[in-house]
Amino acid sequence: MTEPHRARKTGIERLVHAARNTGRGLLACARSEAAFRQELAVLAVALPVAYFVAANLWRWVALIGVLLLILVVELLNTGLERLSDEVTRETNPNIGRIKDMGSAAVGLSILIAALVWLAALAEWLGL
């Protein structure tokens, strides 16, 4: 049996709907994930620091962009973990490896951010 036809959202209505979904996703992750809250705190501190460290707009964008990248990967990892838990709560080595891969993605995004920030700080300090 097929679902009844729903009118598709277009234009501004679609953007508003997408913005609401984004807000709900960010809020849900912030409420349930300590790591996400910590990464948000780092971003809040980094915003003004990047203003002083970055020599130009593009460097500021890079410094903040890599921190936003961490949040994106954390959101994806959290979704992956939640979906895995819905599949089965039992110990499953394959699901364990999948979760480890998600964690590795977060770790690598943190490494990228650290490298960008260290390079910017070294340049700012004249090293």
Would you please indicate which residues are annotated as catalytic (active-site) residues? Answer: 74
- Amino acid found at 116: V
Q: How far apart (Å, rounded) are the C-alpha atoms in residues 66 and 111? A: 10
